[in-house]
């Protein structure tokens, strides 16, 4: 599964739990990226911010976030 697939699952979970504001912030980061690598890092930044600022919401999507974090190895090498 690619990190984009995990991101899609995150969007579904955020929708199901009425977390539209959080989803909008992540989408903004996604749209501001101009390449796949840039998009990845901007989205990752939003997810880390979410973990710090909105822990209950983060817990809903923790598994997918961890998958996305581990996808970093594909961009680091």
- pLDDT tens for 15-50 read 999 999 999 999 988 888 777 678 888 888 999 999
| DSSP label at residue 1 | -
- The DSSP string of 6-75 is HHHHHHHHHHHTT-HHHHHHHHHHHHH-SSHHHHHHHHHHHHHHHHHH-HHHHHHHHHHHHHHHHTHHHH
Give the pLDDT score at 14. 96
* Number of domains the chain is built from: 1
Range of the domain at 31: 3-76
Does the pTM surpass 0.85? The reply is: no
Q: With 0-12 CB in 10 A as exposed, 13-18 as middle and 19+ as buried, what is 54?
A: middle
């Amino acid at each position: 599964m690619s990190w984009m697939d995990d991101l899609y699952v995150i969007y579904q979970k955020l929708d199901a739990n009425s977390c539209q504001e959080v989803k909008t912030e992540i989408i903004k980061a996604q749209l501001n990226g101009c390449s796949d690598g840039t998009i990845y890092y901007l989205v990752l930044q939003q997810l880390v911010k979410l973990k710090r600022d909105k822990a209950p919401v983060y817990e809903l999507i923790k598994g997918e976030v961890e998958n996305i974090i581990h996808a970093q190895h594909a961009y680091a090498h």
